[in-house]
Amino acid sequence: MISPEQKFPYATFDWLWFLAILALSGAGTLAIWSTTSDTGLSIYFSRQLIYLCCGLLCFLALLYFDYHVFSDFIVMIYCGGMFALLLVLILGRSVSGNKSWLNLGFSFQPSEFVKIIVIIALAKYYAEIDSDFLNLRELLTGAAIVFVPTILVLLQGDLGTAITFVPIYAALSFLAGVRKKHWIALLLIGIMAAPCSWFLMKGYHKDRIETILNPEKDPQRIGYQTIQSQIAIGSGKFLGKGFKQGSQGLLGFLPARHTDFVFAVLAEEKGFVGGITILGLFLFVFFRLFRVGREAKDKVGAMIASGVMSIILFHAVINIGMAVGWVPVIGIPLPFISAGGSSLISCFIGMGLCMNIWMRRYVN
């Protein structure tokens, strides 16, 4: 008979990791409150609190079930995810030009949850391969698992979310073992595809890339967000202006201040110290995820943890890079911090899976 400790090994719960996640979520919720209160965007704060509660419930629920339950039934789950993406193309609601939202009495973005599904699916497939290196067929099959949903998301017009599937494939393929000749082939394909992708981009995508090189080229339109974000971060100085004292965020000079540029709001109000604290919390979470991948009891657990780490790391680097003007503005949220229910809940689901793997590393 299985004891309660074996079924739910709560003694191995990582409280420091959990508190770091809560600290990031709390910082984001306070930033959203600060920058949207007494404005037409004030509803985002109450919604974020609801999303945070839903995320926590998902996190805790996932701890009870062994993570192999999800990997064993991943074929059905994956098909369900693809069906949801197809449903978006038919019945989806457009937001900011992207038809990526589904309304079933409540609005949500299926692509955010499909990222987690793809991680589990690719981890399961690669974990069952008993060799040190992937052959070409296995590498292409892994690519199909990832790029089928990527294409469906691209058809929705959501380039930013589509790009976030790429690090999943890169990270898990690297762990599964890719021969040097295959890496070179993939690199050459990427180099050749880059010029072609330029011609497939919409006009505003090209403008955003050009803005990185010269944000002053169009300061009132394409370069406006980047310039205002840099002003907000710089004006925070060392200790920041204080809660609800940031002019760029509070007075609305900074667009998307509760979503894409929430890090700039935090830096303006909390200064260099606040920005470094946020980065430190993310680094701590990355360290914990790395430790889960290293100490997981099996290959599928290690790969799931690595996939979640790759997607959280990619989101954080790109979003903060957008805020400081190092990468184009492509609408990628900052994990746990940016306003948005689908993103926040999917992050907690990813953390719940990884905490599940950590807690069961010694369970037979």
How is residue 52 written in tokens? 């945070």
Residue ranges of domains in the chain:
11-359
- Exposed, middle or buried, 235 (CB in 10 Å: 0-12/13-18/19+)? middle
Asked whether residue 2 carries a pLDDT value surpassing 60, the answer given is no
Q: Taking residues 17-24, what's their average pLDDT?
A: 96
The per-residue pLDDT for 190 is: 72
- Quick: pLDDT tens for 237-257: 888 888 777 776 666 667 777
Please state the rounded mean pLDDT for residues 260-288. 92
* pLDDT for res 5: 45
Question: Which residue, chain included where needed, has tokens 């955010």?
Answer: 112
213 or 20, higher pLDDT: 20
pLDDT at 210: 61
The stretch 30-43 carries a mean pLDDT of 83
Whether 143 shows a pLDDT value over 50: the answer reads yes
Query: How does residue 108 score in pLDDT terms, banded at 50, 70 and 90?
Result: confident
Mean of pLDDT over the chain: 85
**pLDDT mean over 101-113:** 85
The predicted structure's pLDDT at residue 357: 95
pTM: 0.89
The distance of Cα 112 from the centroid of its chain, to the nearest Å, equals 8
pLDDT at position 118 over 60: yes
The alpha-carbon radius of gyration of the chain (Å, integer) is 21
Over residues 157-202, the pLDDT tens digits come to 888 888 899 999 999 999 998 888 877 877 777 777 666 665 556 5
Q: In angstroms, rounded to a whole number, what is the distance separating the alpha carbons of residues 362 and 96?
A: 47
Q: Residue 220 — pLDDT band, cuts 50, 70, 90?
A: low
- The full DSSP string for 207-263 is HHHHHHH-GGGSTTTTTHHHHHHHHHHHHTTTT-S-TT--HHHHTT-STTTTTTTHH
- Are the beta carbons of 142 and 176 closer than 8 angstroms? yes
Q: Looking at residues 33-53, what average pLDDT do you find?
A: 87
Confidence category of residue 119, pLDDT binned at 50, 70, 90: very high
